[in-house]
Structure 1
Amino acid sequence: MHIGFIGLGSMGRALARNLIKAGHDVSAWNRSALEPEAAHGITIVDGPEEAFQAEVVFTMLSDDAAIRGVVLEGALLDGARAGLIHVVTSTISIAFAEELAARHDEAGIGFVSAPVLGRPDVAARGELNVLVGGKADAVAAVEPLLAVLGRKVWQLGEIPAQANAAKIAANMMIAMAIEAMAEGVVLTESVGLGRARFFEMILGTLFAGRAYESYSAQITEGAFQPGFKARLGLKDLRLATEAGSATGRSLPMLDAVRERLSEAVSAGLGERDWSVMADVTMSGGDPSPIPAATKEKHP
């Protein structure tokens, strides 16, 4: 199948390469120039409009504004190939997902929301969980492609925004789990119980699960090497806050973890993994310096 792809960050590259490995022809465009190593194995096209001439186009862009700027303000729907299905794998707001669904309907273009659960290393292995919302015919047409990207495709309903609500809620709950582990460490380390021993007990009894396993390791090591950057996590908690406000209901735990993550980003830790918010809690608001050996090199 001829597939278009827009957005070749660490997640996007992993998705595009897995589609290529599965035998598909992928024409991709990125908003910024790519290093040759990053583009290796991917056919790069001159503009996003070329990607919208495929049978299916995926976008993995950072947020609502990026998708709006490229797709809507770029009028890509007006010149898209007839019969095209657009799959948005980004974490976007519920309101914007609803707007995208309406705009695609007006243009006669298929639209599927398919945000993913998993970090770039999980994406590279094709082991993501793919959360899917969209009309049944459009979902059926792209499901074989989504199966290439994930170990499970979760069909959540015919309204695209249902998948986006599920993704935002899941990320909110991960942030709550990170803060819960950090506060547990504050209590247990106060009497000399090491965090590694504490987490071994917790994972072996009450809290076995991928989020606890992954982020307890980050907290124990204390390096907070980025898998999901704190500034992007803060964006997702903002989306959760907006969605919560629209319901007219109070979400006090969300308010607390958003404030904690905001403190981490304000302290200059926005490029670290979002579990660095735990360090803010464990240090009493004075995060420890990141060891030199673990710092990323930036050009």
Structure 2
Amino acid sequence: MSFGINATVPTFGGKLHKLSHDSTVIGSKMNLNLYLPPQAVAGAVVPWIFYLAGLTCTGDNGAEKGFFQQAAAKSGVAIVYPDTSPREPRYEGDDASWDFGRAAGFYINATKAPYSETYKMEKYIVDELYNSLPKAFPLDPAKVSIMGHSMGGHGALTLYLKYSEKFKSVSAFAPISNPINCPWGQKAFAGYFGDDKEEWKKHDATELVKSHKGALDILIDVGTGDNFYKQKQLLPENLEAAAKEAGHTIGPNGVNVRYQEDYDHSYYFISTFASDHIEHHTKFLISQSDLIDL
């Protein structure tokens, strides 16, 4: 696969590439952003992190407003910002609402027609981009982590829990933590999977954490002023309860949900804690000897 570089933006000593490519998984053109830190620009092969954006977003939002690049440049990690759904071909009604269809792919592989044809964001992330990007750019294929916001937080958590062998670490901002029990998730899952509730559970972090084997070290930030949190769209407390019942550590070095007083759901919130999340992933991606070299 070849990636076209449509634009390059210098930032914090590195390069933000605006990319496009023809996706064999999605069956159409896809856009994404890739931030290469100064170390990669200088020729080093670097660790990298997927950032999965939320409902209504594209691959541009996190790159432009998340404020990850400064910490990434300091730590020597790259950030990949994929799109949130297929953009073409379009199905009748796929843009009728903001929380389903275009810009609302939920990072799953749909099984219900017609969405099953192209709404395969899970496979797009964990197979196509995961395998293709290190062949085209100086990214270490053995050092990959994942994070996300809201719908993307759901994606980061579920993809990590399903494919732990592929990702060194995970974190999330205001994730949809228990989609089978919130309006956003129920609407999306009914549209993408149909009425099979057992299929729904395979894409729910709260359900997946119950059967996860091995230690978990997950950083999650949620703002107490977040209206979606207040409306029970996020339900991080359900994830915490399920993790505790399954015997996982709750708190630092475990399933660590930090409730940030008064913060909302916006990129003001994300940018405030962005460096904490990069630092969290750096623990798993970069060895102490590598840090000394930096």
Fold shared per TM-score above 0.5: no
Bigger share in strand: 2
TM (norm. structure 1) is: 0.29
Q: Which has the higher contact order (CA 8 A, sep 6+)?
A: 2
Higher Cα Rg: structure 1 or 2? 1
Bigger share in helix: 1
